[in-house]
Structure 1
Amino acid sequence: MAKKENNAPLYKLYERPPFPTLIGLSLQHLFSMFGATILVPLLVGLNPSVALFSSGIGTLIHLLVTKGRVPAYMGSSFAFIIPMTSLLKTFGYPAVGQGVVAVGLCYLVIALLVAKVGTGWMDRIFPPEVVGPVIMVIGLSLAQTAAQSGTQINGQYDWRAFLVAGLTLLVMIFTNQYLKCFLGMIPVLIGIVVGYVLALAFGLVDLSGIGQASWFSMPKFDFLFMNHGHFDGNFYPLAMLTMVPLVLVTLSEHIGHLLVLKKITGHDFFTDPGLNKTLAGDGLASVFAGLVGGPAVTSYGENIGVMQLSKVYSVWVIGGAAVFAAVFAFIGKLTAIIQSVPASVTGGVGLMLYGVIAAAGLQVLVDNKVDYSQKRNLLIAGPVMVIGIGNFHLALTSQIDFSGVALATVLGVILNLCLPKSTK
């Protein structure tokens, strides 16, 4: 294990922590991604346990395809909520499943194209003056969500939520800064536990679901051509037409997350294992999710934030979290306990993790000495950050909505290619 000197990682990409340490670190990642992963199916009308299972197996598939070289956790994607909800209500799960599989296949096609043309174009369209603001946008675009979760209950301001979120944040800061050895590596997990106990004291935790849950619970899989237990062999081209265009949104997220990972780990994932491999892993993970009844998946910024905060980059830890997710999908009591973590606690966690991601973007600008006395750099960073953070989004239809983050990324690339380098 590396010593914690000069901001060195505690565990590098391919280092395997001792088994007891591995369990704690993996559970930390599980808790960090759990809320968002089950929220998507709850909003859409899919089964949360199936989403948890498909996220775990999807992550393992991604690790397999990338030969265990990319520490990315694959969770439920928010980009497809609107079309999946509409398709489920109108046609049933087979339409949703076909749309999710089509998304995965689209990723595979893009992966093949990237394999043919290479990744030399990456440095040209994503220089530091674009990468820095885009990474900052990825983190700060979620700031409002974290703040609302940490201050509101049922849409109304509540001082109890503020205290729980604030204490969760302070515990994570204290743990990461002052505790040593293993405890210093799990600040998020410790923060969640302390926040959960305080939320219990304030009566913010609903324990009814835990008592009602059974120890063993088989997820209700909705296989591709099954609709509530009945075979449905229909073909739904509308599902593909409404969901595939949104691949542009998740593709920008995918590239953005790889840029963040490259920054915090110092490893260029665009060349090793290659963007084509990471895209293929993402695509096959979504194909699997569509086959078993889960939503489309994408890499999660929450888990990247955990890595940045803990300085643990090990792919073994991500793999452990994936195994826990797949197993916990069958254990009703454990799933119910994690589901009972209130939004005030996860909001407090978000106040740290999203900010850490944004700070990584700021570090890109500092390390590369991006000069903002140059008009060109200002003209790129300014609109990118406002559009992304403010979510200036483009809704082409009720199902196709390009988020502010996606538009900001595309705009940053276009401005970088179009604005002359000599502009002062």
Structure 2
Amino acid sequence: MEMSKQSDFRNNEAVLDINDKPAPLHWIGLSLQHLFTMFGATVLVPILVGINPGIALVSSGLGTLVYLTVTKGKIPAYLGSSFAFIAAMQLLMKTDGYPAIAQGAMTTGLVYIIVSIVIGKVGSAWLDKILPAIVVGPVVMVIGLGLAATAANNAMYRTVDGNQVYDFKYVFVALATLAITIFFNMYLKGFLGLIPILLGIVSGYVLALLVGIVDVQPIVDAHWFALPDFQVPFIEYKPTLHIGAITTMAPIAFVTMTEHIGHLMVLNKLTKRNFFEEPGLNKTLLGDGLAQVVAGFVGGPPVTSYGENIGVLAITRVHSVFVIGGAAVLAVGLGFVGKLTALILSIPNPVISGISFVLFGVIAASGLKILIENKVDFDKKKNLLIASVILVVGIGGLVFQAGTFTLSSMALATVLGIFLNLILPEQARSEEK
């Protein structure tokens, strides 16, 4: 089935298509599923940087709502805290603190906005040339498999006095959560069959409580209402231009743009549409950029589209933007509820990892599906070389650094794949007849 850009098109393979609104009770459950799927990564970023997790929840929710508004409710994408900026934000927090991070986050958003304006003027037809299936497929696989090691490590190790210690309980909980989630996905019917991820997280959490790896004291100590520390960027902000923050974080925007495009490609396949044409790459980048500006304005880290939530879309076949919007509203509200925030933060890594084994794998399998559907010929040396380089560089974790400029392994793999596709001849000399 070809992708469609028609506004009246409906994907009959979806349980709920993009414009379908679920029943109220179903709506809450489906939105909670997306909320619980993204929160682990979204709150981990501010914890590593030293930012209030409540701010990150609010900024991710507001950013997602901005994105949905700019794209006119046509793309079911959730935006959460970006991992690409962690190292830069940690450095800035030590030197200039919140003001620098806020300014850097808003600068990355401006980079997106500028690129979106350029694309709006010259078009995006060039994408088909530089991003054919042989590049897109492996890159999408890298998006999923590049996160595999993190999921596996979080499923095996707990931190003791700064050291990583193997814990059998962690592995048991992770694998049990995985098994339960697979069972729910395969055998539950009706509404319960639409929320296997949420049910898997709840079941895994209960199991984690039983084996004693959940610390409930922070939940007891937390207040019901807790105002996130929004005032820090405003009260302590001085009208100083942090050039270092701008030069450190702005280049990373081009790294996350590759992730943005890769996620759109996966969503194109899932929803049977072409979001590069409607609403257009310029609109999606504009939405992402404005979301980052809003995130920076409230003191949160830069946001980006989340592969975890795309995995939920693929597994449940619920593509409704109303569900995504509901998750965003819940995230904003959750940022003000201290006990609920503490409850979410108490969910141990093994539970998240058990879910991630499924979600990240689904993303990787989507990349493989792209190669199969486009009948990519791996007997051709060009195709074989491009895929090989992308997969090994991306999954292997090769990083390019030059001063403060860094290309993550996924971004580097994408750049190399595009470069090889453009310079290599269609046939190797040994293939010429």
What's the TM-score once normalised by structure 1's chain length? 0.96
Residues 146-202 of structure 1: CA deviation (Å, up to 9, x unaligned): 111112222211111111111111111111111111111111101101110110011
Q: What's the Cα RMSD here?
A: 1.2
The code of the aligned residue for 1:381 comes to A
What is the distance in 2 between the residues matched to 1:171 and 1:254?
31
Counterpart pick for 2:377 among 368, 371, 377 = 371
The code of the aligned residue for 2:392 comes to V
SS in 2 for 1:234: coil
Shift of 1:323: 0.4
What is the distance in 1 between the residues matched to 2:80 and 2:276?
21
The code of the aligned residue for 1:44 comes to V
What is the distance in 1 between the residues matched to 2:81 and 2:235?
21
Please list, as runs of the form range in 1=range in 2, the aligned pairs for 1:14-413 lying within 5 A after superposition: 14-154=19-159, 155-222=164-231, 224-227=233-236, 231-397=237-403, 399-413=404-418
Contact 1:225 1:233 (C-alpha < 8 Å) held by counterparts: no
The code of the aligned residue for 1:320 comes to G
SS in 2 for 1:162: helix
SS in 2 for 1:169: helix
Shift of 1:333: 0.8
The code of the aligned residue for 2:74 comes to R
**Where do 5+ consecutive residues of structure 2 fail to align?**
1-10
Shift of 1:125: 1.0
What is the distance in 2 between the residues matched to 1:224 and 1:272?
36
Change (3 A) 1:152 1:334: same
Shift of 1:401: 2.3
The code of the aligned residue for 1:36 comes to A
Alignment partner, residue 8 of structure 2 = none
Shift of 1:416: 1.0
SS in 1 for 2:257: helix
Change (3 A) 1:184 1:289: same
Change (3 A) 1:419 1:7: farther
What is the distance in 2 between the residues matched to 1:261 and 1:210?
36
Shift of 1:422: 3.0
Residues 220-268 of structure 1: CA deviation (Å, up to 9, x unaligned): 11454532xxx52211111101110111110111001101111111111
The code of the aligned residue for 1:250 comes to T
The code of the aligned residue for 2:188 comes to L
What is the distance in 1 between the residues matched to 2:253 and 2:299?
19
What is the distance in 2 between the residues matched to 1:97 and 1:226?
13
Contact 1:93 1:226 (C-alpha < 8 Å) held by counterparts: no
SS in 1 for 2:215: coil
Change (3 A) 1:355 1:7: farther
The code of the aligned residue for 1:96 comes to I
What is the distance in 1 between the residues matched to 2:43 and 2:267?
24
Alignment partner, residue 4 of structure 2 = none
The code of the aligned residue for 1:363 comes to K
Contact 2:155 2:353 (C-alpha < 8 Å) held by counterparts: yes
**Where do 5+ consecutive residues of structure 1 fail to align?**
1-5
Residues 28-47 of structure 1: CA deviation (Å, up to 9, x unaligned): 00001001101111111111
Residues 395-415 of structure 1: CA deviation (Å, up to 9, x unaligned): 223x43211100011111111
What is the distance in 2 between the residues matched to 1:161 and 1:415?
42
Shift of 1:316: 0.8
SS in 2 for 1:376: helix
Residues 102-154 of structure 1: CA deviation (Å, up to 9, x unaligned): 11111100000010111111111111111110100000000001111112222
The code of the aligned residue for 1:16 comes to K
Contact 1:286 1:296 (C-alpha < 8 Å) held by counterparts: yes
What is the distance in 1 between the residues matched to 2:332 and 2:119?
31
What's the % identity of the aligned pairs?
Answer: 54
SS in 1 for 2:304: strand
Alignment partner, residue 3 of structure 1 = none
What is the distance in 1 between the residues matched to 2:263 and 2:283?
15
SS in 2 for 1:109: helix
What is the distance in 2 between the residues matched to 1:265 and 1:168?
28
What is the distance in 2 between the residues matched to 1:20 and 1:93?
39
Contact 1:23 1:320 (C-alpha < 8 Å) held by counterparts: yes
Q: Provide runs of 4+ in structure 1 moved above 2 Å.
A: 222-227
What's the TM-score once normalised by structure 2's chain length? 0.94
SS in 2 for 1:421: coil
What is the distance in 1 between the residues matched to 2:316 and 2:165?
33
What is the distance in 2 between the residues matched to 1:188 and 1:400?
37
What is the distance in 1 between the residues matched to 2:87 and 2:111?
19
The code of the aligned residue for 2:207 comes to L
